């Protein structure tokens, strides 16, 4: 394997983020690397062969028999006529009813604009709140509700509902080789390895810091500590100056955050959380305990400020960060107007150990509902939505959603518009995995971390309870 191929494979294993990209704070050198990784040679176009000129007929002698006519040269083979672009089928009067996610609606509307112009069809995008989606999807499966056409999905929902809810796409959609492989992984059901959806944008989480607040406590603003414990050690200095060390919603609205943040930290150790078939817990060893010990250290030090553990989500935390008195935060797509770019640091997450990083990426996308009454129109819209021209338009729109296609990832115009792509490449050097399963273990982590915050569990007790609670779920899942 060549070095270039290794670099390409490393990049293609990267999970990119749906987060809106902020200008500044990251070196631009990674753009050239991204552009080089998948540069493909363009084959030369071969023209139609030119026939050799006909041989002139010889001049016959006066008394000779009539000369044999010279052979006629074969006519030149005409260049193949390009296949005509098929006229789109008219779907005038058809209106698709789609269950979607609020983040993705701007991207879906870009695809809809083209589909509507070309076919006359239309669509609605009903944004069901995220924490209500599991119950909604379970109800659709139980009743075989045929009122839905395309369905929002992502890694976790795909593992829990995909095989029962969504139609396989490979045969109807065709070639998916231009999609980033790790993005497709989240849209493939693990139980049968069937692709049942496609990503519209990919989420690679990053870590932000306020350089001015590091300077205020005498720390290097350009080189923050690369381990969690080293960050926790700075807490007394921030507290002394009434600076909030970190706003992080461990107990955020709708749950799931404890598992989400645990996974970021755990992944920095490079050890799997589950077996490939998701039937065995693998965070039951020293890696899992060390992660819970790190969380405990952050809580006890006051780095994870109790006043901000119950805010709704990471977007609200980012709004607080934008007010200028929060030192560190998980990166969000939320824009922070008037925040000085020179003061805003953005990079990969710290690790439990120095020189290591981890993250929990995910992608949002769509699949086609199994019971749709409009399959032809649904496929028509799906195929138009997931075309390269729409993909690029999405990346260059106001949302600045990062690419899910390799060809768009390497597009110079996109790289110029999205200066955080090099930071995503750095984050991808660590372990990046959501560790999604067909059973929902997030409530187990919400419970044990809540008890740690209340002082009811030590790190050891939290680890023991998380392992047992998840194993019980696996047993229930396998015996169902």
CA distance 30 to 34: 6
Is the pLDDT reported for residue 57 higher than 70? no
What is the per-residue pLDDT for 6? 34
Mean pLDDT to the nearest integer, 125-142: 92
CA distance 360 to 260: 7
Q: Which of 3.40.50.620, 3.40.190.10, 2.60.40.420, 3.40.50.1380 would CATH assign to domain 207-360+439-479?
A: 3.40.190.10
CA distances from 145 to 95, 98, 265, 392 (A): 17, 12, 40, 34
CB 153 within 8 A of CB 361: no
What is the per-residue pLDDT for 337? 84
Give the three-state DSSP class for 399. Answer: coil
Strands (E), 117-261: 122-127, 150-154, 188-189, 194-195, 198-203, 207-210, 244-246
Is the pLDDT reported for residue 467 higher than 50? yes
What is the per-residue pLDDT for 363? 87
State what percent of residues in the chain have pLDDT above 70: 81
Q: For the segment 77-132, what is each residue's pLDDT rounded down to a tens digit?
A: 454 554 455 567 999 999 999 999 778 899 999 999 999 999 999 999 998 888 89
Angle at 129 between CA 172 and CA 108, to 5 degrees: 40
Is the pLDDT reported for residue 135 higher than 90? yes
| 245 secondary structure, DSSP code | E
Least confident of 36-50, 153-167, 385-399, 435-449: 36-50
Considering only the C-alpha atoms of the chain, give the largest distance between any 2 of them, rounded to a whole number of Å. Answer: 122
Token pair, residue 342, equals: 């020179």
Q: Quickly state the pLDDT bin for 140 (edges 50, 70, 90).
A: very high
Output the CATH code of domain 95-204+362-432: 3.40.190.10
What is the per-residue pLDDT for 69? 42
Which of 56-70, 356-370, 399-413, 462-476: highest mean pLDDT?
462-476
CB 419 within 8 A of CB 23: yes
Q: What SS3 string covers 400-423?
A: CCCCCEHHHHCCHHHHHHCCCHHH
What is the per-residue pLDDT for 425? 81
CA distance 18 to 110: 16
CA distance 451 to 227: 24
- 351 CB-near residues (< 8 Å, 6+ apart): 226, 227, 228, 268, 269, 357, 358, 430
CA distance 106 to 394: 8
What's the predicted TM-score (pTM) here?
0.73
| 179 secondary structure, DSSP code | B
What is the per-residue pLDDT for 233? 98
CB 209 within 8 A of CB 222: no
Q: Do domains 95-204+362-432 and 207-360+439-479 have the same CATH topology?
A: yes
What is the per-residue pLDDT for 59? 41
Mean pLDDT to the nearest integer, 284-293: 98
Q: For the segment 239-262, what is each residue's pLDDT rounded down to a tens digit?
A: 999 999 999 999 987 667 999 999
Angle at 289 between CA 426 and CA 259, to 5 degrees: 60
Give 361-412 as a DSSP string.
Answer: -EEEEEEEBTT-S-HHHHHHHHHHHTSHHHHHHHHHSTT-PPPSBHHHHT-H
Mean pLDDT to the nearest integer, 451-466: 97
* Cα end-to-end span (Å), the chain: 45
Mean pLDDT to the nearest integer, 376-396: 97
Other residues' Cβ atoms within 10 Å of the Cβ of residue 419: 20
Q: List, in sequence order, every residue forming a beta bridge with 125; answer none if it has no partner.
A: 98
Mean pLDDT to the nearest integer, 437-452: 94
Mean predicted lDDT score pLDDT of the chain: 84
Token pair, residue 193, equals: 């390895």
Domain residue spans of the chain: 95-204+362-432, 207-360+439-479
What is the per-residue pLDDT for 255? 64
Mean pLDDT to the nearest integer, 137-151: 97
Least confident of 63-72, 200-209, 465-474: 63-72
What is the per-residue pLDDT for 90? 97
Is the pLDDT reported for residue 61 higher than 60? no
CB 161 within 8 A of CB 440: no
What is the per-residue pLDDT for 327? 98
Is the pLDDT reported for residue 412 higher than 80? yes
């Amino acid at each position: 394997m060549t070095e270039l191929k290794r670099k390409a494979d490393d990049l293609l294993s990267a999970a990119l983020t749906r987060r809106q990209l902020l200008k500044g704070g990251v070196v631009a050198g990674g753009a050239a690397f991204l552009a080089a990784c998948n540069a493909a040679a363009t084959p030369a176009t071969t023209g139609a062969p030119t026939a050799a000129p006909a041989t002139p007929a010889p001049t016959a002698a006066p008394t000779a028999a009539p000369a044999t006519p010279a052979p006629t040269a074969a006519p030149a083979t005409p260049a193949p006529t390009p296949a005509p672009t098929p006229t789109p089928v008219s779907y005038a009067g058809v209106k698709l009813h789609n269950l979607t996610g609020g983040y993705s609606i701007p991207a879906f509307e870009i695809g809809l604009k083209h589909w509507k112009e070309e076919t006359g069809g239309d669509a609605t995008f009903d944004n069901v709140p995220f924490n209500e989606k599991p119950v909604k999807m379970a109800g659709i499966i139980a009743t075989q509700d045929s009122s839905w056409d395309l369905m929002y999905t992502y890694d976790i929902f795909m593992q829990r509902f995909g095989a029962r809810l969504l139609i396989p796409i490979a045969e109807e959609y065709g070639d998916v080789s231009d999609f980033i492989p790790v993005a497709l992984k989240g849209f493939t059901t693990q139980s049968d390895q069937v692709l049942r959806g496609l990503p519209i944008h990919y989420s690679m989480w990053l870590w932000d810091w306020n350089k001015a607040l590091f300077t205020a406590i005498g720390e290097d603003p350009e080189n923050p500590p690369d381990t969690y414990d080293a960050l926790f050690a700075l807490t007394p200095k921030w507290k002394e100056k009434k600076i909030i060390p970190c706003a992080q919603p461990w107990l955020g609205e709708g749950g799931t955050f404890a598992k989400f943040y645990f996974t970021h930290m755990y992944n920095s150790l490079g050890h799997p959380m589950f077996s490939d078939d998701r039937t065995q817990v693998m965070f039951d060893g020293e890696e899992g305990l060390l992660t819970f010990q790190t969380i405990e250290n952050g809580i006890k030090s006051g780095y994870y400020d109790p006043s901000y553990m119950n805010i709704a989500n990471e977007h609200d935390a980012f709004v607080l960060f934008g007010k200028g008195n929060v030192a560190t935060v998980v990166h969000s797509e939320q824009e922070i107007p008037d925040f000085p770019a020179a003061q805003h640091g953005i990079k990969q997450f710290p690790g439990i150990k120095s020189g290591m990083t981890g993250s929990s990426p995910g992608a949002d996308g769509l699949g086609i509902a199994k019971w749709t009454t409009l399959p032809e129109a649904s496929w028509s819209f799906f195929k138009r939505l997931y075309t390269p021209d729409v993909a690029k338009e999405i990346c260059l729109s106001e949302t600045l959603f990062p690419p899910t296609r390799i060809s768009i990832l390497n597009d110079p115009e996109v790289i110029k518009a999205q200066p955080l792509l090099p930071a995503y490449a750095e984050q991808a050097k660590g372990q990046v995995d959501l560790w999604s399963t067909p059973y929902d273990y997030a409530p187990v982590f919400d419970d044990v971390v809540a008890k740690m915050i209340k002082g009811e569990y030590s790190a050891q007790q939290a680890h023991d309870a998380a392992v047992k609670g998840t194993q019980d779920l696996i047993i229930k899942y396998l015996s169902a």
